[in-house]
Amino acid sequence: MSNITIYHNPACGTSRNTLELIRNSGAEPEIILYLETSPSREELVKLIAAMGISVRELLRVNTAPYGELGLDNPDFTDAQLIDAILLYPILMNRPVVVTPLGAALCRPSEKVLDILPDAQKGAFTKEDGERVVDKDGKRLV
């Protein structure tokens, strides 16, 4: 069993890049396809606390349910926002990665480098062509 977990959406380029950066460190993470297997309320609350962010910061604002539900209204409580994420998992921004060094919403994808226990094993270039790691495993951004 891996000591790294990624809440992943394979349709998302940032999520794919983050997964590949994890693999570039030599690790094979536990991959949770959160749109299919959503975290429980308890898991979601723990993730938010571990990341040190607000519930609102975890919300993905550029998706249909956000606007349709009026979630930009500041009167929504954290509990109500969590209810919305549980009902519409697409509202959870991604990817979220948990390692022995911490948890993070990895946007941009190279944010995962801050919490990976092992160094990069070689060069890494994101899907858009941005070089993130050089051939010696040194971070470029």
Instruction: Supply the residues annotated as catalytic.
Output: 12
Residue type, 114: D
User: What does the block give as tokens for 114?
Assistant: 């801050």
Residue 139 · residue 25 · CB < 8 Å: no
Q: Is the peptide bond before 117 cis (omega within 30 degrees of 0)?
A: no
Q: Where are the alpha helices (DSSP H) in 77-121?
A: 78-87
Contacts of 35 (CB under 8 A, 6+ apart): 9, 89, 90
136 vs 28, 33, 71, 139, CA distance in Å?
20, 31, 44, 9
